[in-house]
Chains A and B, each alone.
Chain A
Amino acid sequence: MSWADFTAAVFNFSNYAELLPLFRDTLLAGAILGVVGGLIGTFVMMRDLAFAVHGIAELSFAGAAFALLIGADVIFGSLVGSVFAALLLGVMGVRAREKNSVIGVIMPFGLGLGILFLSLYEGRSANKFGLLTGQIVSVDSTQLSVLAGTALVVVVGLASIWRPLTFASADPDIATARGVPVRTLSLAFMFLLGIAVALSIQVVGALLVLALLITPAAAALQVTAAPRMVVLLSVGFAMTATVGGIMLALGGSIPISPYVTTLSFVIYLLCRIAGAWRRRRGWSARPNALAV
Chain B
Amino acid sequence: MSPSAPAIISLSAATLKYGQRTLWKDLNLQVAPGEFLAVLGANGSGKTSFLKILLGLSPLSSGQLTINGAPAKRGNRGIGYIPQQKNFAPDTPLRARDVVGLGVDGDKWGFRLRGKSYHQRVDELLAQVGATSYGKIPVGMLSGGEQQRLRVAQALAANPQVLLCDEPLLSLDLNHQKAVSALVGQQAKQHGTAVVFVTHEINPILEHVDRVLYLAGGRFTLGTPAEVMTTEVLSKLYGTRVEVLHIDGRLVVVGRPDSVLDGHLPEDEQSHSHDSTHGQEIR
Residues of chain A touching chain B, judged by Cβ–Cβ distance below 8 Å, are 42, 45-46, 159-164, 166-167, 170-171, 173-180, 220-221, 225-227, 230, 283-284, 286-288
Judge if B102 is at the interface, Cβ distance under 8 Å.
yes
The docked-state distance in angstroms from the alpha carbon of A288 to that of B92 is 24
Q: A46-B92, A163-B107 are in contact. Are A287 and B75 (CB under 8 A)?
A: no
Instruction: Beyond the given A159-B110, A175-B106, please list 11 additional residue pairs across the A-B interface where CB-CB is below 8 A.
Output: A170-B99, A174-B81, A174-B102, A178-B77, A179-B75, A221-B91, A225-B138, A227-B94, A227-B98, A230-B93, A284-B141
- Could you tell me if B81 and A163 are in contact, using CB atoms closer than 8 angstroms? no
A-B contact pairs, 8 of them (CB 8 A): A163-B109, A225-B137, A225-B138, A225-B140, A226-B98, A227-B94, A286-B133, A288-B133
Q: Contacting B106 at CB < 8 Å: which of A45, A164, A173, A226?
A: A164
The docked-state distance in angstroms from the alpha carbon of A176 to that of B139 is 21
Q: Contacting A177 at CB < 8 Å: which of B75, B105, B137, B140?
A: B75
Q: A163-B105, A164-B107 are in contact. Are A225 and B112 (CB under 8 A)?
A: no
- Could you tell me if B92 and A225 are in contact, using CB atoms closer than 8 angstroms? yes
Judge if B79 is at the interface, Cβ distance under 8 Å.
yes
Residues of chain B touching chain A, judged by Cβ–Cβ distance below 8 Å, are 55, 57, 74-77, 79, 81-83, 88, 91-95, 98-99, 102-103, 105-112, 133-134, 136-142, 151, 154-155
Residues of A contacting B110 with CB < 8 Å?
Answer: 159-163
In the complex, how many angstroms separate the beta carbon of B117 from the nearest chain A beta carbon?
Answer: 15
Q: A46-B93, A179-B75 are in contact. Are A284 and B102 (CB under 8 A)?
A: no
Residues of B contacting A179 with CB < 8 Å?
Answer: 74-77, 107
Helix, strand, loop or mixed for chain A's interface?
Answer: helix
Contacts between the two chains (Cβ within 8 Å), count = 107
Helix, strand, loop or mixed for chain B's interface?
Answer: loop
In the complex, how many angstroms separate the beta carbon of B21 from the nearest chain A beta carbon?
Answer: 24
- Could you tell me if A176 and B57 are in contact, using CB atoms closer than 8 angstroms? yes
Residues of A contacting B106 with CB < 8 Å?
Answer: 163-164, 166-167, 175, 178, 180
Residues of A contacting B55 with CB < 8 Å?
Answer: 177
- Could you tell me if B99 and A178 are in contact, using CB atoms closer than 8 angstroms? no
- Could you tell me if A286 and B107 are in contact, using CB atoms closer than 8 angstroms? no
Closest 5 CB pairs of A and B: A179-B75, A225-B138, A167-B106, A284-B141, A162-B111
- Could you tell me if A226 and B95 are in contact, using CB atoms closer than 8 angstroms? yes
The docked-state distance in angstroms from the alpha carbon of A180 to that of B57 is 12
In the complex, how many angstroms separate the beta carbon of A20 from the nearest chain B beta carbon?
Answer: 35
The docked-state distance in angstroms from the alpha carbon of A170 to that of B140 is 11
- Could you tell me if B57 and A283 are in contact, using CB atoms closer than 8 angstroms? no
The docked-state distance in angstroms from the alpha carbon of A166 to that of B88 is 14
